Amino acid sequence: MLFSFMKSKPVVADLSFLGVDMHSHLLPGIDDGLQTIEDTIAYMKALQAIGYRKFICTPHILNGLYNNSPETILPQLAIVQKALKEQQIAIEVAAAAEYMIDDLFENYLKDGKPLLTFGKQYILVEMSYMAEATNLYSVLYELIIKGLQPVLAHPERYNYFHTHFERYYEIKNRNVLFQVNLLSLCGYYGKQIKQTAERLIKEKMVEFIGTDLHHANHLKAIQNYVTTAEFYKLTKDIKWLNDTL
C-alpha cells in the first residue's frame, strides 16, 4: 500500500517525561564538547524548548587527553550557573563526569580520590570504542564495594559487543545500569548502533537516556528525531530514572 511508504506525521517534541539529561558535554572549554559560555546557554535553552528542565553535565576524564577533575569541572559549573542566574533563565545545572575506564581511573579508585557522582551515588563510566577494557569487571566490582552505582555510558556504541549480545546480559548481571544515547536512537552513529540501542531498550535493560551532546550537529539530529512518533512509541512505557534526578 502507498501509505506504508509514507513517514508518520511529525509530533510535538516533548522530552518532559525524561526531564533531566545526565550525560552531556555542555560545560564550556574543558573537553571536546562546547567551547564558549554563549554556546552553553544557547544549547541549554534549545534543549529546554524540547522538554528538558535540568542538565547534569559530564565532561570527559580520560588519561592524557582530558585530565579533568573536580578542580577543573566545578569552577566551570559555577560559571554556567552564574550566567543562567544573571540572565534569569530557569534551568537547573549540576555536574558529574564521564570516566573512561583506564589506568588513571583505576589509580583513582586505588588512592580513594573523590569522584564526581550524581543522584543516588551514580557514576558514569565509559569504555574505548576500539576494545573492551581489560579491567572492566574489576573496576565495576571496586565501584560497587565503594557504595557507588556504576552507569555504563552508551553500551550500544561498543561495536565489539554487537555480535556478542550475551555480554550485555553478563554486564547487567553485575548490577550495572545502562544509559543509551539519544543520538544512537536517532541513527546518528549508523544503523547497527541504532538497532542495538533499540534492542537494549526493548529488552528492558536501559535505565537512562542521555543526549551525549557535544556540538551543533548533535543538537540538530536530536531536535529532528524527537519529533518522530517512533521515539515515543519506543520509550513511553518505561519508567526512566532520568526523571528521579
Give 98 or 102: the residue with its C-beta nearer to Fe ion: 98
> Which residues contact residue 177 at a Cβ distance below 8 angstroms, ignoring those fewer than 6 apart?
122, 149, 150, 151, 152, 207, 208, 241
Which of these ranges, 38-46, 67-75, 185-193, 207-215, lies near Fe ion under the rule CB under 5 A?
207-215
Give 21 or 98: the residue with its C-beta nearer to Fe ion: 98
Which of these ranges, 76-84, 135-143, 209-217, 235-243, lies near Fe ion under the rule CB under 5 A?
209-217
Tell me how far, at minimum, the Cβ of 68 lies from Fe ion, in Å: 12
Give 15 or 125: the residue with its C-beta nearer to Fe ion: 125
Give 98 or 207: the residue with its C-beta nearer to Fe ion: 98
Tell me how far, at minimum, the Cβ of 218 lies from Fe ion, in Å: 10
- Report phi then psi at 65, rounded to 5: -110, -50
Looking up cell 557535544, which residue turns up? 214
Tell me how far, at minimum, the Cβ of 183 lies from Fe ion, in Å: 10
Looking up cell 524548548, which residue turns up? 49
Among 212, 219, 222, 242, binds Fe ion (CB under 5 A): 212
| Distance between CA atoms of residues 193 and 156, nearest Å | 6
DSSP 135-148: THHHHHHHHHHTT-
Q: Is the distance from CB of 15 to CB of 51 less than 8 angstroms?
A: yes
Q: Is the distance from CB of 239 to CB of 59 less than 8 angstroms?
A: no
Which of these ranges, 89-97, 166-174, 188-196, 211-219, lies near Fe ion under the rule CB under 5 A?
211-219
Which of these ranges, 30-38, 185-193, 206-214, 227-235, lies near Fe ion under the rule CB under 5 A?
206-214
Considering only residues 88 to 147 of the shown chain, the ones binding Fe ion according to CB under 5 A are: 98
Count CB atoms within 10 A of the CB of residue 191.
8
Give contact residues for Fe ion (rule: CB under 5 A).
98, 212
